[in-house]
Structure 1
Amino acid sequence: MWNRWHIAGRRMPAEMWTAGSGLGDWTVRELYAHVSRGVSTLADLIAQPLCTDEPELSDAAAYFAALRPLGKQGAAQVAQAARIWAAERADEVLVEAFHGQAGRVLAALSVNGNNVVRSIAGTIRLSDFAVTRILEATVHLLDLGAVVAHAAGPTPDALHRTVDVLTDLFPPADFVLAATGRSSSVVLPVLT
């Protein structure tokens, strides 16, 4: 998924960087900043001292569930962090994060994926935190594709992994009942 972001960024016409992303008032540049920041965040987690306890968060869905109560305040904090990240980096730096740094992060993750680290939502295995980055890269690649014609869509594997995480954010029986027309319960959105 990060390679798709890298390729799309290398092909990005200069005027598209300041165009609206379709995600609130974020520009394409801020959307890039948000997702590329995930590469750096994962690198920082890999480098931090390990936690020896069992993780507080069992998987990627538990990570997002722990952050959901922040609601609009959390979304505003994420948006502000993206704006700052975008303002402090050139377009090329945002794009290259998905290439050089991403390769090093993925190599380190393959060795350290079972390690438990401290994230903003609680302790979590690195491999589970990596799934949160798959979800972010997937959802936001769909956002990008809605405004940037040359952006490739997510891979089928990334889409399926994202669906798995999102469905885990809703009680399974309630989801099945709503999805099969047996309940009028509102299922979506599970994550905003």
Structure 2
Amino acid sequence: MPPAKKRARSYDSAKIRAAVLAQFGNVRAAVGRLTPEQLALPSGLGEWRVRELAAHLCMAVESVNLSIEQEGRTRDRDRRGAPVTLATWPFATAAHAGAISGSVTAYAASAAPDELFARTAARIEALLPGADDDRVVAMRLGAMRLGDYLVTRTVELIVHTDDLNRAAGLAVPFDRQALAACTRVLADALAVKAPGSATEVRVPPYAVVQCVAGPRHTRGTPPNVVETDPLTWIRLATGRTDWRTEIDAARVGASGERADLGGLLPLMG
């Protein structure tokens, strides 16, 4: 008998909306204090400086505004592109990296960072409360439910807040709900990429998933277990670090013959 299909994880809309706004607020406050020297520092992401990284963080939320506005004008489904779900979104981003990079560079040059964040904050406060989670919005990657798209914003905000902290020597806090959602999206992506139940991946306190083909575990301690903390998991899943580095640093614990995830990571770049 084939294994039962795993049900997609659900997210509380009110908590996700609050998490996106909270993490955006955390970043906005920090970016507003950056000096010209800090803005000119390398971001660690290709040719971007911290200025472009800050602009990308702002665009993660500004894209919500643009999507809500565009939905009101775009009724033809063919113009929205192929459907994208939370399960497929992490794997769809790489193909658009070049176009995104070009857009970020232009956006960063259009105004000072604090002005970009102020504009986006005013727009999201006006547009988001009246927007239905079930409306389908057009994105660069395709068509997606607004509710799901907002979940993806937690990934963008958390991943790049971590980038900003490391690049500019900051300590921008991570909203707990945003960090939890980001961790879960990337854990679920691993289960999609490597379906199965042979290995249990634990990222306390936010996520536990089973993945990797092999003998199914039913009771007791699983024979193959991977455990790490949320930020290490996020860095692994997005290619900010690699499996062997984190194993050697004891930030990842792995036991069992099917507990080596090195060949499955990163999940998105």
TM-score, with length taken from structure 1: 0.82
What stretches of structure 1 move > 4 A for 4+ residues in a row? 50-53
Deviation larger for 166-175 or 130-139:
166-175
Q: Once the 2 structures are TM-superposed, how far is the Cα of residue 14 of structure 1 from its aligned partner?
A: 2.4
Q: Pick the aligned partner of 1:22 from 25, 35, 44.
A: 44
Match of 1:32 in 2: 54
Of residues 127, 134, 139, the one that matches 1:114 is 134
Unaligned runs of 5+ in 1: none
Change over 3 Å in CA distance of 1:16–1:88 after alignment to 2: same
SS in 2 for 1:34: helix
Determine which structure has the larger helix proportion and give its number. Answer: 1
- Say whether 1:58 aligns with 2:79: no
Counterpart secondary structure, 1:124 = strand
Matched residue type, 2:112: A
Whole-angstrom distance in 1 between the partners of 2:85 and 2:199: 20
Pick the structure with more strand per residue. 2
Matches within 5 A, 1:115-130: 115-130=135-150
Q: Could you say which structure has the larger radius of gyration? A: 2
Residues 158 and 174 in structure 2, CA contact (< 8 A), matched pair in contact too: yes
Within 1, Cα distance between the matches of 2:188 and 2:111? 35
Superposed counterparts of 1:24-103, under 5 Å: 24-47=46-69, 48-49=71-72, 56-59=83-86, 61-68=87-94, 70=95, 74-97=96-119, 99-103=121-125
Shift of 1:52: 8.9
Return the offset for 1:63: 2.1
1:98 deviates by 5.0
TM-score using structure 2 length: 0.61
Q: Alignment partner of 2:143: what SS?
A: strand
Q: Which has the higher contact order (CA 8 A, sep 6+)?
A: 1
Alignment RMSD (CA, Å)? 2.5
Distance 1:172 1:7, change over 3 A: farther
In the alignment of these two chains, the number of paired residues is 184
Letter of the 1:85 partner, please give it.
Y
Distance in 1 of aligned mates of 2:39 and 2:199: 38
Using a 3 Å threshold, how does the CA distance of structure 1 residues 25 and 125 change in structure 2: closer, same or farther? same
Which residues of structure 2 form unaligned runs of 5+? 1-22, 201-211, 213-223, 227-254
Overall identity of the aligned pairs, in %: 26
